[in-house]
Structure 1
Amino acid sequence: MILVNIVISIAIMIGLQLLGMVIFNWMTPYNDMEELKRGNKAAALAMGGKFIGTAIILGVSAYTNTSIWFMILWFAVGYVCLIAVYWIFEWVTPTIKVSDALKEGNVAVGILLCMVFIGMAFAVSSLII
């Protein structure tokens, strides 16, 4: 029975991680995969930050909850915070259109956004505990 629960939990975690990446891809006005194929390091950094941020929130929500439903709930709360931080970051940097800068390959913006996602994931994870 324990093995079945572990397999189900891992399957749900993989599904949530993939869903999170798909939603982030929909949010950007460019295609993340096309930018990766072009070798766009800025887009890769931003995407990596989204992935790590999502994984941090997912990992903490899985670790701190014994119910799969609560894990999903807390992941959703944390994920909404990551989405919000993207739009807030875009808003507080009015001289830089973040999505355009990433598409153009501005690595500095990619690094900063990556760190913003990771930092927010750690901050939000402290609320989940």
Structure 2
Amino acid sequence: MTIVINIVVSVAVIIVLQLLGMFIFSLMTPFKDLEELKKGNTAVGLALGGKFLATAIVLGVAAYTNTSIWFMMLWFVVGYVILVAAYWIFELVTPGLKISEHLQKGNVAVGILLCCVFIGTSFAISSLII
């Protein structure tokens, strides 16, 4: 019975952290991600999908490598802060490219690149968590 309770609590914490992570990412863009998705904006869909997958990778590795929910949450926060920093660093090193404007205009190339930045960063972060 204890194992079942631990699994239910762990899954609940993982879902809450994933949703919280996506909410924080949505605050980083000047437009509403869901509105852009409703319009069929592929670039925003790619960027948002990359954020979701990157967050899930960090969260999954944090869950897999920690026996304590508290340590899992701690490592997720560390990894998530690095993901957010990666976005802002990417914005800084591409001064001629305002990422949010290009995403909102539907620039698929920027969406793909940002998706890859998030996923690549999450894999690199995951090696720190182990």
**The TM-score by the shorter chain falls in which range?**
over 0.9
Following superposition, the deviation at residue 49 of structure 1 comes to: 0.3
Q: Deviations over 1:12-33 (max 9, x none)?
A: 0000000000000011111000
Q: How many residues align?
A: 129
Q: Give me the whole-angstrom Cα distance separating, in 2, the residues matched to 1:3 and 1:96.
A: 49
- Residue 45 of structure 1 aligns with which residue? 46
- Residue 85 of structure 1 aligns with which residue? 86
- Residue 21 of structure 2 aligns with which residue? 20
Q: Structure 1 segments of 4 or more deviating over 4 A?
A: none
- Residue 32 of structure 2 aligns with which residue? 31
Q: Give me the whole-angstrom Cα distance separating, in 2, the residues matched to 1:5 and 1:72.
A: 15
Q: Give me the whole-angstrom Cα distance separating, in 2, the residues matched to 1:71 and 1:20.
A: 14
Normalised by the size of structure 1, how large is the TM-score? 0.99
- Residue 67 of structure 1 aligns with which residue? 68
Q: Which amino acid aligns with 1:110?
A: G
Structure 1 segments unaligned to the other structure (5+ residues):
none
Within a 5 Å distance, the mapping from 1:114-125 to structure 2 comes to 114-125=115-126
Q: Which amino acid aligns with 2:51?
A: K
Structure 2 segments unaligned to the other structure (5+ residues):
none
Give RMSD over aligned pairs. Answer: 0.3
Q: Give me the whole-angstrom Cα distance separating, in 2, the residues matched to 1:90 and 1:104.
A: 17
Q: Which amino acid aligns with 2:45?
A: A
Following superposition, the deviation at residue 95 of structure 1 comes to: 0.9
Following superposition, the deviation at residue 39 of structure 1 comes to: 0.4
Q: Between the two proteins, what is the percent identity of the paired residues?
A: 69
Following superposition, the deviation at residue 65 of structure 1 comes to: 0.2
